[in-house]
């Protein structure tokens, strides 16, 4: 420590840097244009599966294999409403899992993480879906979000909290929306086999407890990232068979008939598809376009790296640089705000469209999200 009055000139700490981090973060797209930031090519660190009872398994049992219909003859004719509601086992959405499954994977693999000693202590741990929401924030005009953040052993953990509006919407979800959700999962069943080279079996149940999750490492600017994301299937015939480049994301969307409908699809839906698949390095999104009666009669592959081309010359389009620069700015904001290392302390970042991101501070229940079993095992 430097003693006062020992002849040294004392330089004042610049204010607003760490000692006084800003208390809000603007989200306007214009503030985040500029060059695309560094984003490390995502690499897969591991994976896990959740079974029909939502039980964790440290293996790939829930991974399915891409098995599109033969391209000869006519197009597909998938009835997405088949099996609804009798063969639908939806996950219980009242169960708040937070980061639990990802934390279990991390606990079991913390000794074998690459990146050198201390890599985890400098990293941000979260779900891919949370990062997707950050990427699309500068363009989002409907849904806000809340992200809870805790620092523990250096690592910054980010876990989404359902907003009151989202909860109200979920509880009041009209039956037609519930069926639409089913149809998305049904499409996966028509497009995936349980074994490489096998054929899809659409006669079974659709159980949305089942999931295969890839755990990935990347870095955005100077933020090392460890995140997990649900993967729909792997393509046994992929040109590059190594994960994540063999993975395929499946989506359904309304059939489009006018240039105006395509324009709107490129501006809104493709942004979400791009953000979700770019983060884990999933190279292709295969879309099934459904008729008003719920039949998929055409398929189209959208390479993730070509999605931006559809809006590059659109004044009302989105820009990947804005998405990534905003995400990097948010991660810096969070890193500078959550200074104390304490798993029971939560900084809650809240955002509503048209406003900046704001922060509130909480301790313990109901906001703390790092489970005791995790904190205790990591403290050993």
Interface residues toward ligand 0WD, by CB under 6 A: 91, 96-97, 101, 127-129, 132, 160, 184, 208, 211, 229-230, 251, 276
Residues 335 and 145: beta-carbon distance below 8 Å: no
Would you say 31 or 348 has its CB closer to ligand 0WD?
348
We find the least distance from the C-beta atom of residue 183 to Ca ion, in angstroms, to be 12
Instruction: Tell the smallest beta-carbon distance from residue 65 to ligand 0WD (Å).
Output: 17
Q: Does 250 bind Ca ion (CB under 5 A)?
A: yes
Q: Least Å distance between CB 286 and Ca ion?
A: 9
Q: Which of Ca ion, ligand 0WD, none lies near 229, with the C-beta cut-off 5 to 8 A by kind?
A: ligand 0WD
Pick one of ligand 0WD, Ca ion, none as the site partner of residue 186 (Cβ within 5 to 8 A by kind). none
List Cβ neighbours of 206 (8 Å cut-off, separation of 6 or more): 83, 87, 88, 89, 182, 185, 186, 189
Beta-ladder partners of 125: 157, 226
Sign of the CA dihedral with 38 first, then 43, 48, and 52 last: positive
The entry of ligand 0WD, Ca ion, none near residue 91 (CB within 5 to 8 angstroms by kind) is: ligand 0WD
CB of 368 to ligand 0WD, least distance (A): 16
Q: Which residues pair with 270 in a beta bridge?
A: none
- Based on CB atoms, which residue is closest to Ca ion, 82 or 232? 232
Least Å distance between CB 191 and Ca ion?
10
Q: Which of residues 208-247 bind Ca ion (CB under 5 A)?
A: 232
Binding at 344: pick from Ca ion, ligand 0WD, none (beta carbon under 5-8 Å per type):
none
Which two three-digit tokens encode residue 301?
């592959």
- Which range touches Ca ion (CB under 5 A), out of 38-46, 98-106, 248-256, 349-357? 248-256
- Provide the residue count of the chain: 380
The minimum distance between CB 227 and ligand 0WD, in angstroms, equals: 7
Verify cis geometry, omega within 30 degrees of 0, for the bond prior to 366.
yes
Nearer to ligand 0WD, 17 or 96 (CB): 96
Q: Count residues near Ca ion (CB under 5 A).
A: 2
Q: Where are the alpha helices (DSSP H) in 244-298?
A: 259-264, 270-278
Q: Which is nearer to ligand 0WD, 18 or 233 (CB)?
A: 233
Q: Are the CB atoms for 156 and 128 separated by under 8 Å?
A: no
Q: Are the C-beta atoms of residues 186 and 82 closer than 8 Å to each other?
A: yes
Q: Which tokens sit at 183?
A: 């149809």
Query: Which helix (H) or strand (E) is 109 found in, with range?
Result: helix 100-109
Give the whole-angstrom CA distance, residue 16 versus residue 22: 6
Interface with Ca ion by CB under 5 A: which residues? 232, 250
């Amino acid at each position: 420590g430097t003693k006062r009055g020992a002849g040294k000139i004392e330089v004042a700490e610049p204010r607003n840097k760490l000692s006084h981090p800003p208390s809000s973060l603007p989200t306007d797209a214009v503030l985040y244009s500029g060059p695309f930031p560094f984003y490390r090519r995502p690499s897969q660190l591991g994976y896990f599966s959740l079974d029909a009872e939502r039980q964790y398994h440290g293996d790939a049992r829930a991974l399915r294999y891409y098995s599109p219909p033969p391209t000869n003859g006519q197009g597909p004719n998938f009835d997405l409403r088949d099996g609804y509601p009798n063969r639908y086992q939806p996950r219980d959405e009242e169960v708040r899992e937070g980061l639990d499954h990802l934390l279990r994977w991390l606990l079991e693999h913390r000794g074998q993480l690459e990146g050198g000693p201390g890599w985890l202590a400098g990293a941000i741990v979260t779900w891919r879906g949370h990062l997707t929401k950050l990427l699309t924030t500068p363009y989002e005009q409907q849904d806000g979000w809340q992200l809870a953040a805790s620092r523990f052993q250096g690592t910054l953990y980010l876990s989404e909290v359902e907003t009151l509006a989202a909860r109200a919407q979920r509880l009041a979800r009209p039956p037609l929306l519930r069926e639409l959700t089913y149809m998305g999962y049904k499409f996966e069943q028509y497009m995936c086999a349980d074994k490489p080279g096998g054929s899809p079996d659409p006669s079974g149940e659709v159980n949305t407890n089942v999931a295969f999750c890839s755990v990935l490492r990347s870095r955005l600017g100077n933020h090392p990232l460890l995140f997990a994301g649900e993967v729909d299937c792997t393509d046994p015939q992929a040109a590059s068979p190594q994960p994540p480049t063999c993975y395929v994301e499946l989506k359904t969307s309304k059939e489009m008939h006018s240039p105006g409908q395509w324009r709107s699809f490129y501006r809104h839906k493709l942004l979400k598809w791009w953000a979700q698949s770019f983060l884990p390095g999933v190279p292709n999104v295969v879309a099934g376009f459904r008729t008003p009666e719920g039949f998929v009669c055409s398929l189209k592959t959208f390479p993730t790296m070509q999605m931006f081309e559809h809006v590059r010359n659109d004044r009302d389009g989105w820009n990947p640089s804005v998405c990534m620069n905003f995400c990097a700015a948010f991660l810096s904001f969070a890193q500078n705000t959550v200074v104390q290392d304490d798993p029971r302390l939560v900084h809650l970042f809240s955002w509503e469209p048209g406003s900046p991101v704001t922060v509130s501070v909480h301790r313990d229940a109901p906001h703390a999200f790092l489970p005791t079993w995790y904190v205790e095992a990591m403290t050993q």
